[in-house]
Chain A
Amino acid sequence: ELKVEQNPLFLSMQEEKNYTIYCNYSTTSDRLYWYRQDPGKSLESLFVLLSNGAVKQEGRLMASLDTKARLSTLHITAAVHDLSATYFCAPEETSGSRLTFGEGTQLTVNP
């Protein structure tokens, strides 16, 4: 059974600061997805990481995947208030088609 741990679960940071969210998972997975959820809203896809060493960047967010270490990171550069949301990682089971979600990291960016 695939288990996923995100840390931290809560992150309060100041604007213009950098920080990293970590996503560890327990069994082999070659693909991993990151989602964003605003309060009371649905999930929005951020990144799809398809192989070991994959790195994707969009604006102030950069995600990476190390399948050997079973670790993905979401790095935030020079945070702005608009990035305040909950971020979920979700590795895909090796059988395909199913994702297992982490608990989420609730990010608050303070002015």
Chain B
Amino acid sequence: NAGVTQTPKFRVLKTGQSMTLLCAQDMNHEYMYWYRQDPGMGLRLIHYSVGEGTTAKGEVPDGYNVSRLKKQNFLLGLESAAPSQTSVYFCASSYFSEPQETQYFGPGTRLLVL
């Protein structure tokens, strides 16, 4: 049981390049989330999904797109990276019908945009 995994762990991009971050969970969770964490700040929600084929915007969605084609995977895309998107990105997942269950977090992806 791997829990929540993220690929890649670290990436350097040039301004204007695109990339996709992959999040995978093997806990059969309905809900999945993408957050970003900047120095000295808490986590801010980018996009989330309440089930396969559904996505919704979070607090800071601009510049990002997401897809949830399979229940276990949640992809975060940057179409044209900007230095302001330099951050650590965390994926999380949780059950739908179990409020006592917390969100489980992946190890994070460190992204540097030059």
Task: Answer yes or no: B1 CB below 8 A from chain A CBs.
Answer: no
Asked if B45 and A98 sit within 8 Å, CB to CB, the answer is yes
Tally of contact residues, B, Cβ under 8 A = 26
> Which B residues lie within 8 Å of A12 (CB)?
none
Q: How far is the CA of A88 from the CA of B102 in the complex (A)?
A: 13
> Which A residues lie within 8 Å of B108 (CB)?
41-42
Contact status of A97 and B50, CB under 8 A, knowing A88-B42, A102-B42, A103-B41:
yes
| Interface size range of chain A in the complex | 20 to 34
Interface window among A43-51, A61-69, A72-80: A43-51
Give 1 or 0 for each of B78-114: 1 = CB within 8 Å of chain A CB: 0000000000001010101001111111111000000
Q: Which residue of B lies closest to A6 (CB)?
A: B42
Give the tally of cross-chain contacts (CB within 8 A).
53
Which residue among B31, B99, B102 has the maximum number of chain A CB atoms within 10 Å of its CB? B102
Task: Answer yes or no: A99 CB below 8 A from chain B CBs.
Answer: yes
> Which B residues lie within 8 Å of A43 (CB)?
43, 90, 92, 105
Q: Which residue of B lies closest to A30 (CB)?
A: B99
Task: Answer yes or no: B77 CB below 8 A from chain A CBs.
Answer: no
Q: Shortest beta-carbon distance, B37 to chain A, in Å?
A: 9
Interface CB pairs A-B, < 8 A, 15: A35-B105, A41-B107, A42-B90, A45-B102, A45-B103, A45-B104, A48-B99, A48-B100, A48-B102, A50-B99, A50-B100, A90-B43, A98-B45, A101-B43, A104-B42
